[in-house]
Structure 1
Amino acid sequence: MKVISNPNTNPVSSAERDKRVAEPGFGKYYTDNMVVAEWSEATGWADAKLQPYGPITLDPAAMVFHYGQEIFEGMKAYSQPDGGVSLFRPDANAKRFAKSAARIALPEMPVDFFVKTVEELVKADAGWVPKKIGESLYIRPFMIATEVGLGVRPSNHATYILIATPAAAYFNSAKAVTVWISTEYVRAALGGTGEAKCGGNYAASLLAQKQAAKEGCDQVAYIDAKERKWVEEMGGMNLYFIKGSGKDAKIITPKLTGTLLPGITRDSILTLANDLGYKTEEAMISIDDWRDGVKSGEITEIFACGTAAVVSAVGTAKSIHGTWQTGDGQPGPITNQIRAALLAIQHGSAEDKHGWNKRVI
């Protein structure tokens, strides 16, 4: 399988592209090209095609519209000091994409083929990669069920599409976010799709996000569906709790139970924190642990992490159990250190000890 190149012959002008890249926002502008690949049960994966970005046409009875058979990924390409471009851990995204596909009964895309499509799009649209530290080309691969029919069963046809958008930081890193701990709604349950990166998980989070906004909060933090007390993750990010300060600090994240998304940034931070000399732990953390730890001062910092958000401090938590603020409510020194260290690796200004960056250009 290969990527057949038929790039946009009428791309956005260099001047207009540079203007858009200078003020990218998040999902505001899209690059000149996209990649499309088709799969059928009878023939498997066909060659992918790099083609001009544009609308797609689907039959109204395409299964994705009726049964939600859809998955996606989020990954980034980063500018490097010498003007080149690198991807961050694309193999990890490829493997998670395949795992999500298996859970939603969609075809698994071979890791090498997935990475090849991403590389070809980044090469074609390299001029869209922002140069500023903390900004990147956000890459969105997704797959949808495109068989025409209303029978409730796995689709025998699927379409893979890859698009990209220049992106600034999702949150202002100089400010901490406020979160609403949802006790009414849950994100996922054991045996469900919590580990898969599928649209249904995010659709289910929107009502709670709306509730959070009414409470004056930026994001939602979810608890488990069974005991309704264990902290899991935020709507689109994993959580980290820091106990103590300085080199004696311990950095803790809720352990993967089958209901949390195994975040690639989450995994990277576990390794990076150890590199920086901190102790790390994956553990169960309850709402009471969160509240009491903050009030006693044992928990000194909290941050969320994800591909889009990178690392974002959590300053205040609100819930039906009350409101509590971590420290002075601002990003703490360890949170800032981890964010800076991660970005330094991604942008090629620090040693990549673990071989996470994959050079494209």
Structure 2
Amino acid sequence: MTDAPKRTPLYDLHVELGGKMVDFAGWEMPVQYPMGIMGEHKQCRVKAALFDVSHMGQVILRGENVGEKLETLCPQAYAGLKEGKARYGFFTNENGGIMDDLIVSNAGDHYFVVVNAALRHQDIPHMQANLDGVEVTEIFDRALVAVQGPKAEDVVGELCPAARDLKFMETTVAEIDGAECRISRLGYTGEDGYEISIPEADAIRISKLFLAHDDCEPAGLGARDSLRLEAGLCLYGNDIDQSTSPIEASLSWAIQKRRKEEGGFPGAARIQKELAEGPAKKLVGIKPEGRAPARQGVEVQSEGGDTLGTITSGSFGPTVGGPVAMGYVAADHAAPGTKVNLIIRGKAQPAEITALPFVTQNYKR
């Protein structure tokens, strides 16, 4: 017997709004609404879209020197993370592979961590076992909602003026319609926006207030995936996993200079070696020349027929107006402009290596 999928605090709202529900990482989640994936994608790029991300794990870390202790598990510089700031990061394993990616925020008297839904069963015990003297508590009584898009500041700011003052990767606690919420200016669409942790009892009411704004519509998992792909953002399990290093995944920007130099995190030897010498393969953008998307698992070949790597994510990019993909290729074929072939249903389809992201990221700096 398998466990029945879990439901987020917004489940009834998804059904009311006509969401098409699917099983995602053990949760019943909307893949799309009546507007459709293309419409929801465009809504987020042009105005604002509301996503339910309550399936993600929300974790509170309390104790002495939490930031320093996190540095024993992550290559990021968390010891000096200022109060009210958030930082993207990842757990690495002893081989320098990525165990999961996450967002860490310094909330003052505690740290607030958001981990991926499918890996909470790994990440939370990992922190409990290795963060000595730190109380690790997963919270289950709050929803997590993302309001994303160029109009997100208006949608959220009309209900919570404090949200307007936040810049990208900043976080605060403020009231929305009488409920105390944690509001963080970040997201995974490439657009400006917020992730808002809301008490469970208030989640549907507040989500409806956001959706009452003329510029805000609901969006599901389908649009979330096409948006993050166009923005060149990795999806755990597709583009990054236990075997890929942050350097192969073009995530060296997420490791601060001090940490690159001093090491002291799992897998540091491999990561420092790849920083110095370059990795054997690299994650790149790939643009098929035809109209057919290249999906995960498609082989990438040189024009001469040599295997170079594999597509890890691919779909139609509504903003780009054609298919887009990401994948790993041999480092000597990773330069933008390199011509390659994608083997789709046994046939070689021409494509080109391109710089990421496919669309400009519109964060409020």
Give the TM-score taking structure 2 as reference length.
0.26
> Which structure dedicates a bigger proportion of its chain to strand?
2
